[in-house]
Amino acid sequence: MNVLLEKYRKKAVEEGMEKGFEQGKNHLALLVGRLLESGRLDDLKRVSYDEVYREKLLKEFGL
């Protein structure tokens, strides 16, 4: 019985991680689009390597 529960738990964790990864990609794509629309190319470059700044801009744009 424990083996079966562990199997389902592992599958749920994997599915949750996949969903989170997809959401993150979508948020990043939206951020890129909004920065491009705003002409904020320096910010676009910076979010590619600065995680703290990226999180700041995601919040700024409500993503």
pLDDT at 11: 86
Query: 14-57, pLDDT tens digit by residue?
Result: 888 888 889 989 999 999 999 999 999 999 999 999 999 999 99
- For residue 57, the one-letter residue type is L
Query: What are the C-alpha distances in Å from 24 to residues 17, 21, 27, 54?
Result: 10, 5, 5, 12
Contact 47, 31 (CB under 8 A): yes
Specify the pTM: 0.75
Domain boundaries, the chain: 24-63
Q: Judge contact between 47 and 63, C-beta under 8 A.
A: no
